[in-house]
């Protein structure tokens, strides 16, 4: 199982759902009584659910460190998405965000969601193959595309599942009702946040890429290709820092997320 750090989640979820929550409307949050957020991590989505619903929101995750952070926002229960520690029909909505893309058998998890829900099941999942980057450092977009392709090639789960989650709902025996798209756009521009400065440093040192080295090498990328990519990556990182020092660096990243909602049969 891939592990996620608290800082990775706060960096990649920065601003998510702050601009529009229209894609969450089919979840009928204003009429829910009990909601379960599975694979809640630090509770990034749980907080949004709690703000939008009068019902109780419970977070559930396998990672105790992430759960400790989520506990500041909602009640939490340790548990595995494939064997949820709840009796049948405990919630009227069971939802996850960026969980199914990490599971080898996402349909089995959705079937387990359906077991503990009386009404709705929903998944907010990205299409990581369709991320778009626009940067004032010319090389950045191309290098990120190369690195992403190598990473996706080495991952053995469907990290592009978002757009096609409907099929997975049907395979789990759920009636798929609706899918809505939400583009999570993150912009880096002056004045730079501390998070943006840390991200730039991680590019210049190659630390960010090194985290994904093993996954990349388990796909088609050779060690020599990885070393060459890392050299170009670090050079790109140094250009990012130079542009930041001149307050000229700008970057926009758009990650397409798809909210799929289904009804328990």
Ligand X SMILES: C[S@@+](CC[C@H](N)C(=O)[O-])C[C@H]1O[C@@H](n2cnc3c(N)ncnc32)[C@H](O)[C@@H]1O
C-beta separation of 75 from 47 below 8 A: no
Q: Which residue, 68 or 207, is less far from ligand X as judged by CB? A: 68
Show the site string, 34-73: x = touches ligand X by CB under 6 A, - = not. ----xxxx--xx---------------xxx--x-------
Nearest residue to the partner ligand X, using Cβ: 41
Contact call for residue 77 and ligand X (CB under 6 A): no
Show the site string, 86-115: x = touches ligand X by CB under 6 A, - = not. -----------xxx--x-------------
Contact call for residue 82 and ligand X (CB under 6 A): yes
Q: Which residues of 25-64 are buried (b: 16+ CB within 10 A; e: fewer)?
A: ebbebeebebbbbbbbbbbbbbbbbbebbebebbbbbebe
Contact call for residue 256 and ligand X (CB under 6 A): no
Q: How many CA atoms lie within 13 A of 109 on its CB side?
A: 24
Give the Cβ contact number of residue 209 at 10 Å. Answer: 21
Give the Cβ contact number of residue 76 at 10 Å. Answer: 22
- State the nearest-atom distance from the C-beta of 21 to ligand X, in Å: 15
Binding residues for ligand X (CB under 6 A): 1, 4, 9, 13, 38-41, 44-45, 61-63, 66, 80-82, 97-99, 102
């Amino acid at each position: 199982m891939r592990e996620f750090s608290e800082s990775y989640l706060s960096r990649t979820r920065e601003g998510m759902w702050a601009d529009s929550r229209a894609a969450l409307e089919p979840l009928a949050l204003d009429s829910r009584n009990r909601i379960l957020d599975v694979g809640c991590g630090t509770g990034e989505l749980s907080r949004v659910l709690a703000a939008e619903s009068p019902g109780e929101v419970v977070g559930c995750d396998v990672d105790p460190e992430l759960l400790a952070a989520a506990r500041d926002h909602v009640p939490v229960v340790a548990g595995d998405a494939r064997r949820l520690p709840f009796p049948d029909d405990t919630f009227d909505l069971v939802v996850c965000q960026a969980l199914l893309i990490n599971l080898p058998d996402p349909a089995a998890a959705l079937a387990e969601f359906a077991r503990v829900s009386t009404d709705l099941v929903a998944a907010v999942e990205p299409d990581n193959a369709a991320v778009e980057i626009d940067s004032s450092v010319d090389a950045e977009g191309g290098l990120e595309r190369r690195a992403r392709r190598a990473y996706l090639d080495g991952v053995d789960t469907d990290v592009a599942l978002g757009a096609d989650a409907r099929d997975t709902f049907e395979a789990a025996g759920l009636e798929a009702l609706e899918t809505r798209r939400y583009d999570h756009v993150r912009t880096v521009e002056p004045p730079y946040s501390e998070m943006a400065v840390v991200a730039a440093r991680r590019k210049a040192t190659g630390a960010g890429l090194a985290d994904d080295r093993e996954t990349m090498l388990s796909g088609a990328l050779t060690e020599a290709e990885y070393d060459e990519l890392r050299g170009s990556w670090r050079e790109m990182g140094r250009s990012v820092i130079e542009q930041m020092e001149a307050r000229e660096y700008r970057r926009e990243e758009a990650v397409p997320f798809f909210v799929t909602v289904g009804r328990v049969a």
